[in-house]
Chains A and B, each alone.
Chain A
Amino acid sequence: MNKPLPNTLRQGPDGRGRFGQFGGRYVAETLMPVIQEVEQAYNAARNDPAFMAEWRRLLKDYVGRPSPLWLCERLTEHLGGAKVYFKREELNHTGAHKINAVLGQIMLAKRMGKPRIIAETGAGQHGVATATACALFGLKCIVYMGATDVERQQPNVFRMKLLGAEVIPVTSGAGTLKDSMNEAMRDWVANVSDTYYCIGTVAGPAPFPQMVRDFQCVIGEETKQQILLAEGRLPDALVCAVGGGSSAMGLFHPFLDDPEVAIYGVEAAGRGIDSGEHAAAIAGGQPGVLHGNRTYLLQDAHGQIQEAHSISAGLDYPGIGPEHSWLHEIGRATYVSVTDTEALEAFQLCSRLEGIIPALESAHGLAYVMKLAPTLDKDKIIVLNLSGRGDKDIFTVAKHLGETL
């Protein structure tokens, strides 16, 4: 083990799975033993050079990593300020960053001898990534997806089926991501002996926030090398959209100890924070406990969890990963928010200026870059995590623009 360094922000979580007061392991007793089993297996796996080498091989030859760091000349010129780079996670196999952590987790499940994989999904990106990895490894895959999301994300539902997964529509609650996570937890409780729960974001009981972050850190590690090669220095700002926050943690974490790099997490403000119809857990929520961890949550005065709203199904979640809550409280990262309308504008601008159709999630990050870049000098550098491609979103966007496809 490395000796603890006194001045690092990269050591979390502590032995109890906490980042400051956030995180932890708030689950029913039935699940505690299997969660501890996952933690032990993960600690063994990440210290096993053969495991990590196999994961790196999959990232290179199956996912197509490293993903490029693209200098957006036309966008930079249009915004008239800082230089804007995109970390092109949308070029990964399955079209988003999700696959990075899914491959790691499915390898872990295989190592643990769990032949049955369950996952929750909102927009379907994590479900598609999990179904993909299960096809590759020959494991049974069950994806819980809110009935509302099944309706609005039909292409991804069909993709998952093509990949051999069973998609179970969840009708409890409002039938969105929060409810599908509840249902996946219920499945896991009933099938602990043969099942692995492949969580899609940096949330849930410890060790999931740490494990998913560790696998996603490949994004930030590559970015660091690439920007040093391109510019000879670190960027001035990192920007990434945050739902649960796995793409953001992956980009941010390798830079936490570089104080000259400003860090911005962009929450979904939906129809506006004041409207109450949003998904901004930090801007509009309070700390509480849900889905196994303590973190900022959208909730009412009685501690009942509120439904999130965002045009982006991937950001439509009332919580946020616990490490983000901690980075917010210690002030290392700044959390801002962007409305549906601003994200739609960014979606279109990106498509026209860079020839890249971004996921609506990533468009939230871009909308903040559009605000930030013009305020900075031209010698400043911003890196946006373009975490996913927007093919899945064209129907939603068309509807909002009044087009029929």
Chain B
Amino acid sequence: MSRIAKRFAELKAEGRGALMPFIEAYDPDPATSMALLRGLPGAGADLIELGVPFTDPMADGPTVQMAGQRALKAGGTLAGAMAMVRDFRREDDDTPIVLMGYLNPILAYGIDRFCLDASSSGVDGLIVVDLPPEEADELAIPAKAQLLDMIRLVAPTTDENRLPKVLAGTSGFIYYVAIAGITGTRSATKDTLADAIPRVRRFTDLPIAIGFGVRTPQQAAEAVQVADGAVVASALIDTLARSLDEQGRAKPDTVRKVLDQVRDLAEAVRVARVAA
């Protein structure tokens, strides 16, 4: 059983949803980013999304764009992100890690070599934002051979004719994009999600995580009341960005501030279904 499937099975047995924080690899520098990654499970992260920096993140709002620019300036690459996962795995063999990014760095690395290296580094799944199912075969087939889960995005614009095509070949979990928009901007209402998630559920038995616009402990709790996981990205990166000095360097309390926020989110996610 893959780490992702195992983790969701455990959470289901516990009767709670997953908190999935997102951090950008190398933001704002390799050491801080690594300290954050190492600290996330202890702060309550059930799964982790690790962003791979790219110059042109077309689906991301200003917060994640800036994170990517800081990461690139600090030397962030796809190889660097995989090296972080390798280091992380020396201490943690249980927490699933999903790489999230855009296709071009993977193409430049070489698809087959990437799938091999990602798998041997301990990466569990891939989210490639600009790779719709129509174009996915060239990556999905070698990824599957290396037992990497291909996690697809389902959007509010994905209608019921299209859903089966998007879900075919998806493994691990479904990433439900809560709003038609970019990251770090608007949030969906609880009612919208309560309407949308069962619509997707009718087509799949995979766990569903909600991302885009999940910022506060309350929103994370609401997300896991209707779905199986909550992805929080821009809200954490905002905290990280605010903690930096004028030159954009990490300060001594940068890691603690972000992890404290993860703790608050985790607490809300853990009691969400009991409270409901």
Query: Which A residues are within 8 Å of any B CB, using their own CB?
Result: 16, 24-34, 172-173, 178-179, 182, 185-186, 189-193, 286-292, 297, 299, 301-305
Kindly state the separation between the CA atoms of A24 and B158 in the bound complex, as whole angstroms.
19
Is A288 touching B108 in the complex (CB atoms < 8 A)?
yes
Say how far B259's CB is from chain A's closest CB, in angstroms: 28
Say how far A368's CB is from chain B's closest CB, in angstroms: 30
Q: Which of B57, B104, B186 sits near A303, CB closer than 8 Å?
A: B104
Is A29 touching B132 in the complex (CB atoms < 8 A)?
yes
Q: Does B59 sit at the interface, judged by CB under 8 A?
A: yes
Kindly state the separation between the CA atoms of A25 and B133 in the bound complex, as whole angstroms.
10
What residues of chain A lie closer than 8 Å to B146, measured between beta carbons?
A: none
Closest partner residue, chain B, to A17 (CB atom): B134
Is B132 touching A290 in the complex (CB atoms < 8 A)?
no
What residues of chain B lie closer than 8 Å to A302, measured between beta carbons?
A: 77-79, 105, 108-109
Closest partner residue, chain A, to B156 (CB atom): A30
Query: 6 pairs across A/B with beta carbons < 8 Å?
Result: A27-B132, A32-B157, A32-B162, A33-B158, A290-B104, A302-B77
Is A304 touching B55 in the complex (CB atoms < 8 A)?
yes
Q: Does B188 sit at the interface, judged by CB under 8 A?
A: no
Q: State whether A28 and B58 are in contact (beta carbons under 8 Å apart), knowing that A189-B181, A190-B180, A289-B103 are contacts in the complex.
A: yes
Q: Does B155 sit at the interface, judged by CB under 8 A?
A: yes
Q: Which of A26, A299, A303 sits near B78, CB closer than 8 Å?
A: A303
What residues of chain B lie closer than 8 Å to A28, measured between beta carbons?
A: 58-59, 129-130, 132, 153, 155, 177
| Given A29-B157, A190-B179, A303-B108, 15 new contacts (CB under 8 A) | A26-B103, A26-B130, A26-B135, A27-B130, A28-B132, A33-B158, A178-B56, A186-B61, A189-B182, A190-B185, A192-B157, A288-B107, A289-B102, A289-B107, A302-B77
Kindly state the separation between the CA atoms of A305 and B186 in the bound complex, as whole angstroms.
28
Say how far B74's CB is from chain A's closest CB, in angstroms: 13
What residues of chain B lie closer than 8 Å to A305, measured between beta carbons?
A: 55-56, 104
What residues of chain A lie closer than 8 Å to B134, measured between beta carbons?
A: 16, 24-25, 32
Is A299 touching B104 in the complex (CB atoms < 8 A)?
yes
What residues of chain A lie closer than 8 Å to B153, measured between beta carbons?
A: 28-30
Say how far B275's CB is from chain A's closest CB, in angstroms: 31
Say how far B32's CB is from chain A's closest CB, in angstroms: 21
Q: Does B215 sit at the interface, judged by CB under 8 A?
A: no
Q: Does B214 sit at the interface, judged by CB under 8 A?
A: no
Kindly state the separation between the CA atoms of A303 and B108 in the bound complex, as whole angstroms.
5
What residues of chain A lie closer than 8 Å to B186, measured between beta carbons?
A: 190
A-contacting residues, B159-202, CB 8 Å: 159, 162, 166, 177, 179-182, 185-186
Is B58 touching A182 in the complex (CB atoms < 8 A)?
yes
Q: Does B106 sit at the interface, judged by CB under 8 A?
A: yes
Q: State whether A303 and B181 are in contact (beta carbons under 8 Å apart), knowing that A28-B155, A290-B104 are contacts in the complex.
A: no
A-contacting residues, B55-75, CB 8 Å: 55-62, 65, 72
Taking each of B53, B58, B152, which has the highest tally of chain A beta carbons within 10 Å of its own beta carbon? B58
Q: Does B131 sit at the interface, judged by CB under 8 A?
A: yes
Q: Which of A34, A172, A289 sits near B62, CB closer than 8 Å?
A: A172
A-contacting residues, B98-135, CB 8 Å: 102-109, 129-132, 134-135
What residues of chain B lie closer than 8 Å to A191, measured between beta carbons?
A: 180
What residues of chain A lie closer than 8 Å to B72, measured between beta carbons?
A: 304
Say how far B172's CB is from chain A's closest CB, in angstroms: 16
Q: Which of B54, B105, B158, B185 sits near A29, CB closer than 8 Å?
A: B158
What residues of chain A lie closer than 8 Å to B185, measured between beta carbons?
A: 190
Is B78 touching A290 in the complex (CB atoms < 8 A)?
no
A-contacting residues, B225-257, CB 8 Å: none
Taking each of A179, A189, A290, A302, which has the highest tally of chain B beta carbons within 10 Å of its own beta carbon? A302
Q: State whether A288 and B104 are in contact (beta carbons under 8 Å apart), knowing that A182-B58, A189-B181, A305-B56 are contacts in the complex.
A: yes
Closest partner residue, chain A, to B155 (CB atom): A30
Q: State whether A185 and B58 are in contact (beta carbons under 8 Å apart), knowing that A29-B152, A190-B180, A288-B107 are contacts in the complex.
A: yes
Is B108 touching A301 in the complex (CB atoms < 8 A)?
yes
Say how far B235's CB is from chain A's closest CB, in angstroms: 19
What residues of chain A lie closer than 8 Å to B65, measured between beta carbons?
A: 172
Closest partner residue, chain B, to A16 (CB atom): B134
Kindly state the separation between the CA atoms of A244 and B11 in the bound complex, as whole angstroms.
50
Closest partner residue, chain B, to A34 (CB atom): B157
Kindly state the separation between the CA atoms of A303 and B154 in the bound complex, as whole angstroms.
26
Taking each of B102, B109, B130, which has the highest tally of chain A beta carbons within 10 Å of its own beta carbon? B130
Q: State whether A26 and B132 are in contact (beta carbons under 8 Å apart), knowing that A186-B182, A305-B104 are contacts in the complex.
A: yes
Q: Which of B102, B162, B177 sits near A33, CB closer than 8 Å?
A: B162
What residues of chain A lie closer than 8 Å to B78, measured between beta carbons?
A: 302-303
Per-residue 0/1 for B134-162: is the Cβ within 8 Å of any A Cβ (1 yes, 0 no)?
Answer: 11000000000000000011111111001
